[in-house]
Structure 1
Amino acid sequence: MSLAEHVRTLGRGPGRSRSLTQDEARDAMQRMLAGDAAPQAEGALLMLLRMKGETADEIAGFAAAAQAAGPAFPPVDLDWPSYGAGRTRGAPWFLLSAQLVARAGHRVLLHGWNGSDPKVRQGLRAAGIGIASDPDAVARLLERDNIAYLPLEDAHPALFRLLALRDVLGLRSCANTVCRMLNPAGAAASVQGVFHPSYRDLQADAAARLGWQALSVIKGGGGEFERHPAKDIAVFGLRNGTRWEQSLAARCDVPRRLSDTETDLAQALSGAELPGFETEIVIGTAALALDTLGHPAPAALAAELWSHRPRHLAA
């Protein structure tokens, strides 16, 4: 089946078009990632999906094909995608949360691309998180630190090309969601942030189709997995492979936006005490990640790890 046939399935018109099955979506993504499909057909398919709205079957099929087309990575406990554009985010405090999860003994793989926003890549060094460009480098960092960051452009150039079509098409495509669902190391647990709340259900349903065991999806700062401590939040996802939802109460009563934080990561690790709002971002985000991994008292553990954190992590 050619990519043009998948375009016809989506675009035949009222009463005749339909969504792709999971197998059809997987075939379509395989063809796009192989690089031998006509660029006009790629653009048509991506924009038809955007107009229609992706289904969980389509996202599951796309993600399965993307993961299979990438290299094999060493096993990890927690998958942590980072694909927010950062327009409504301040400093990437979630990087410190990921470090706490790694210090709890879990192997964490962050991966991502944030467009023109440099804050995440710049924050990695301050947070003491190494960048790896291939599976061997990932393995070395995981062995040393229990955590690594994998740039999408190095990890999966073919998927990065599809993501970068946003600059050509002028609109977001399902490639953004596929990147969040990539899970390159096949971790049983994942934490994901979204900017638009409707994607929480979509990604949870797609993860269930892919056989994942644990997932937490929130509307987070700038589209990242980063909890706003002064707001009640709704968490969608999986526990033990079945759909799960939970509402969490605010951790503090401070009327601020995440982009209004008063300090940065380097200052937070310089030895000075972090202001309460920023502290609650880090602990609250880490607690939800630890909960995803099955810890019975995640909030207490996150607070303990933060209070005993090493200072001067920045190299």
Structure 2
Amino acid sequence: MLSGNMPDAEIESLLTEMAERGETTQEILDLTVVLRNMVIPVQGHEDAIDNCGTGGSGLERINTSTISAFILAGGGVKVAKHGNRASSGRCGSFDVLEAVGARIDLDAAHVEKCLTETSLGFMFAPFFHPAMKRVSAVRKKLGFRTIFNIVGPLVNPAGVKKQVIGVSDSHIAFKIAKVLSELGHEKALVVHGSDSLDEMTVTGMSTVIEIEDGVLRRYEFTPRKLYKRIGGGGAGENARILLGVLNGSVRGAQRDVAVLNAAAGFLVADKVSNLEDGVLFAAEVVDSGKAKVKFDEYISLTNR
């Protein structure tokens, strides 16, 4: 399928069949291993964490994990974030990064420099996974989530061993957790919002599967304060929200959901021992201005 030897019609049929019956854990693991062996690597930063999701919620939303990445870096965590433009919503991680003035077409050497100097690196998936181009036309034609959306968060070019992965489909959460365990991840969280967000939510309960040293533990988390909606929009609107959360002018649900998801990252990075403490720590990082400083450093460096 990735070698170019399978006709598009056969790829389309195979992806459709897997999606309709549900991709197995073994299929997800096998494709992950293949794609990891074909990636353009970002070297020397395996100690970073990643925080990303499968996408596919189809909801109007802010770029929570992108905002959270700046909060994490402000709190002393190195973040090698792997992502793309929007898949089902109006604004993906790299759409909003472009809108706030970051260069997104960074090669491996430039990402490595950003990670070294700012503790932040954003890796644009199409550049680091050239083999995926061979199935891009079929995926676009199909127009629904395929196994490649599931595998995307599992093939980080930096080879991170700690991760937060959000899923919009609760049925694949345990499968991804099993794959992370099989791949030897040191610590990870697979999270799902009850409102179908591929991240922790502030409109209700979130399901969390924690993986540490091969052991899986499932639990639920509900924030103390709940909101009716989070909101979000296109790249321009989400860029305004991103900047507002970091500079303190945007509060409420949009700030709280970014802080909550940063808390998950702080937990994975062993900066805190539980999500409640992570929320307090993340809020302090935002209020101190440290997250905004990291944002400014990153934007400046990408444009040199």
> TM-score scaled by structure 2?
0.81
CA apart distance, 1:101: 1.2
The answer to whether residue 266 in structure 2 is matched with residue 268 in structure 1 is no
Match of 2:2, SS? helix
For 1:267, give the aligned amino acid: G
- Is the 8 Å Cα contact of residues 57 and 198 (structure 2) preserved in structure 1? no
The answer to whether residue 259 in structure 2 is matched with residue 283 in structure 1 is yes
Trace 1:137-286 onto structure 2 (pairs within 5 A).
137-220=110-193, 225-259=198-232, 264-269=241-246, 271-286=247-262
Residue by residue over 1:118-167, the C-alpha shift from the partner in whole angstroms, topping out at 9 and shown as x without a partner, is 35324225778663532111101111211121111111121244254222
Aligned to 2:302: none
Greater mean deviation of Cα atoms: 195-204 or 243-252: 243-252
27, 51, 71: which is aligned to 1:80?
51
CA apart distance, 1:66: 0.4
Match of 2:5, SS? coil
- CA distance, structure 2, for counterparts of residue 222 and residue 150 of structure 1: 28
For 2:87, give the aligned amino acid: G
61, 78, 91: which is aligned to 2:30?
61
For 1:300, give the aligned amino acid: L
- CA distance, structure 2, for counterparts of residue 224 and residue 170 of structure 1: 19
- Is the 8 Å Cα contact of residues 59 and 178 (structure 1) preserved in structure 2? yes
81, 101, 105: which is aligned to 1:110?
81
Which structure is larger by alpha-carbon Rg, 1 or 2?
Answer: 1
Match of 1:33, SS? coil
Q: CA RMSD in A?
A: 2.9
For 1:265, give the aligned amino acid: L
> TM-score scaled by structure 1?
0.79
Aligned to 2:289: 309
Aligned to 1:24: none
Structure 2 unmatched runs, 5+: 300-304
- Is the 8 Å Cα contact of residues 132 and 138 (structure 1) preserved in structure 2? no
Residue by residue over 1:211-246, the C-alpha shift from the partner in whole angstroms, topping out at 9 and shown as x without a partner, is 222221222499765322231211124122221212
Match of 1:195, SS? coil
CA apart distance, 1:180: 2.1
CA apart distance, 1:88: 1.0
For 1:264, give the aligned amino acid: I
- CA distance, structure 2, for counterparts of residue 268 and residue 183 of structure 1: 26
Residue by residue over 1:76-98, the C-alpha shift from the partner in whole angstroms, topping out at 9 and shown as x without a partner, is 42123355256313221332211
Cα pair distance change 1:216/1:120, threshold 3 Å: same
For 1:106, give the aligned amino acid: V
Cα pair distance change 1:122/1:44, threshold 3 Å: closer
- CA distance, structure 1, for counterparts of residue 138 and residue 8 of structure 2: 10
Q: Percent identity?
A: 22
- CA distance, structure 1, for counterparts of residue 100 and residue 57 of structure 2: 18
For 1:96, give the aligned amino acid: I
45, 61, 69: which is aligned to 1:98?
69
Structure 1 unmatched runs, 5+: 1-31
Count of residues in correspondence between the two structures: 283
